[in-house]
Amino acid sequence: FQAYRYDLGLPIKIAAKRLKGCKHKDDQNTKQLLAEVSALSMLGKHENVIDYLGIYSTNDTFYMIFEFAEKGDLKR
């Protein structure tokens, strides 16, 4: 999803990846999510890699937040 975050009141375009069904810390979906977050966090900043910015959760849905790729993904 394309979304916005607000830094000092200014909108910054971001990409959000929605992950449903991560309810409990022992759930397989949650374990996979945490493994992916761990790997992304260790990458650091690189000019050829989309930046992982963080995670947001509400109820049983998690959103992984990334830098927005203005020209689309590599498949297109």
Q: How far is CA 20 from CA 2, 60, 64, 74, in A?
A: 17, 6, 11, 25
- How confident is the model at residue 25, as a pLDDT? 60
Q: Each residue of 17-47: pLDDT tens digit?
A: 887 666 666 677 777 877 888 888 887 777 7
Mean confidence (pLDDT) of the chain: 80
* pTM score over 0.75: no
- How confident is the model at residue 14, as a pLDDT? 93
